[in-house]
Structure 1
């Protein structure tokens, strides 16, 4: 795709923004879900959003070190009917709406590696660098009705370091159809043995260099997670967003010497200007 603090943070943002919202004609998004950027204002052609986000997150998978990170936000999009092609950061993709209740998405992106320097406390020393690489993601969402109040979600992510499967259910709050409002989803995450060992395994050479116990993991259930998204439109151009993620690891992952926590968490806020 990562909680109570996130919910409170997003609700506080919502309360602060209410007095500044100007009246505007609501424009239909491709799908009215706050987790999906849609800068097209319901119209065909090009659209562009540019902004900045601040995240407070784990330093790496399984880390007990947290820190702030500033990241660009936004995307270039081209819409035709019920299809949107987009370029966002390091990802190039397409999403399409079919029969009002099916949303499909395909993305080619870039998977960041892990470096020993990601841990300021030296807890990755001797583990070497996890290679960066490309990944390909396919997603399908099925809504229970055309208003996308409830939906089911399935995602498959194939990368050079292994594969991931995500299955979830979500609920959208609010009556807006322009993509603003909030949503909450619960997901179960599965990974294969290659990805499990890339992120949480310790081979013989790494064990000798780091002093950690040699650890070999099998594929299967990875975690259960909760994901909250919030999006608010100040006016026709300015948008505020927030998100919170909490991922609780399975016992196999939590017992890895790399996992200093049995969970991963993230809270982020940001602003986007739509041209």
Structure 2
């Protein structure tokens, strides 16, 4: 009787492709304000998927990014993402203000790499929702300190146009009547300053554990909005990921 033919590993090619594409799949939790400007915090589960294809295309929870141009330390990229909007059911402090619809975003990013630091400027246009324009400028630093621990830090300023600021921080006459807030006009300008620190622990060749702490500070017309109950906006993130 002939020996049985071994069953092929059906998933082998898939796993190899995930490895070639530098795919990370994981899950975690986020502790953050119920909305930007809220003094109430909430815990949310966070599925996580990240992939880098051909060293140019990146897919992660923020959207899809394409490295369009690279010359030495200078890079230009385009990205497509989303803005989740805001529901008045997210908090009692938003009742009567109505919902801000979710929106797709499209934009670009210029960055300059200098040692462990990356300096960047990005601009994103909302398509739908607030129909606003948001820009960000800042620096991110990533530095391995041991063979298994990588530390990171970042600082950035976020700017927004009148459409975005009015949608998230302004209050028109109808909203004032429904919510009890006074009317308020929010103009274009600096929306916030954001600081972050992070640590990534390489458990082994595949498993990683990442923690991140952020602190946002609302400024200008955003900080003065009646909707804002607290200008300091902390958030914490913990993610366990598996790298193929």
Map residues 132-151 of structure 1 onto 2, 5 A cutoff.
132-144=102-114, 148-151=115-118
Query: What is the CA–CA distance in structure 2 between the aligned matches of 1:247 and 1:89, rounded to whole Å?
Result: 20
Instruction: Flag as ranges the 4+ runs of structure 1 deviating above 4 A.
Output: 175-178
2:57 maps to what in 1?
85
Q: Which runs of 5+ in 2 are unaligned?
A: 1-17
TM-score by length of 1: 0.75
Instruction: Confirm or deny: 8 A CA contact 1:44 1:78 kept in the other structure.
Output: no
Change (3 A) 1:243 1:95: farther
Change (3 A) 1:196 1:71: same
1:238 maps to what in 2?
207
Aligned with 2:56: secondary structure?
A: strand
Q: Which of residues 74, 86, 105 in structure 1 aligns to 2:77?
A: 105
Q: Which of residues 3, 7, 22 in structure 2 aligns to 1:47?
A: 22
1:263 maps to what in 2?
232
In the alignment, structure 1 residue 130 sits paired with structure 2 residue 100: yes
Q: Which runs of 5+ in 1 are unaligned?
A: 1-42
Query: What is the CA–CA distance in structure 2 between the aligned matches of 1:104 and 1:230, rounded to whole Å?
Result: 27
Q: Which of residues 33, 45, 55 in structure 2 aligns to 1:70?
A: 45
Instruction: Confirm or deny: 8 A CA contact 2:190 2:220 kept in the other structure.
Output: no
Q: Which of residues 178, 190, 198 in structure 2 aligns to 1:229?
A: 198
Query: What is the CA–CA distance in structure 2 between the aligned matches of 1:183 and 1:90, rounded to whole Å?
Result: 18
Map residues 146-225 of structure 1 onto 2, 5 A cutoff.
148-160=115-127, 161=130, 162-174=132-144, 181-225=150-194
Q: State the shift of 1:188 in Å.
A: 1.4
TM-score by length of 2: 0.84
Deviations 1:40-68 (A, max 9, x none): xxx99433221001110011111111011
Bigger Rg over Cα: 2
Cα RMSD of the aligned pairs, angstroms, is 2.3
Q: State the shift of 1:238 in Å.
A: 0.4
